[in-house]
Amino acid sequence: MGTVAAIGARTSVCGLALAGVDVLVAEAPDAVRRAWRTLPGTVGLVILTAEAADVLGDAATAPAPTRPLTVVMPS
């Protein structure tokens, strides 16, 4: 089983580190895209803030065998 990562604003994702989630703080759109591109291959689930999901769009987050499963936090 892979690891879990979270991408988004500091205030939304930092608490997830207490549960063992790899937190990637990304406040700006470029930072969100960079965090997504640099996810380790061991990540099996990515938790995105609603804002991060909007930046990445459906093309990046749609289910595919080569990408981790993604979920979006409610805003």
Number of folded domains in the chain? 1
Tell me the pLDDT tens digit for each residue of 20-73: 999 999 999 999 999 999 999 999 999 999 999 999 998 777 888 888 999 999
Q: What is the CATH number of the domain that holds 16?
A: 3.40.50.10580
Q: What is the pTM of this model?
A: 0.93
Strands 3-8, 43-48: pairing is parallel
> Around Cβ 18, how many Cβ atoms within 10 Å?
8
Q: Are 21 and 50 in contact (CB under 8 A)?
A: no
Tokens describing residue 3 = 């690891």
Enclosing domain of residue 67: 3-72
Report d(CA 12, CA 73) in Å as an integer. 9
Read off the amino acid at residue 14: C
In whole angstroms, give the CA distance from residue 11 to residue 66. 29
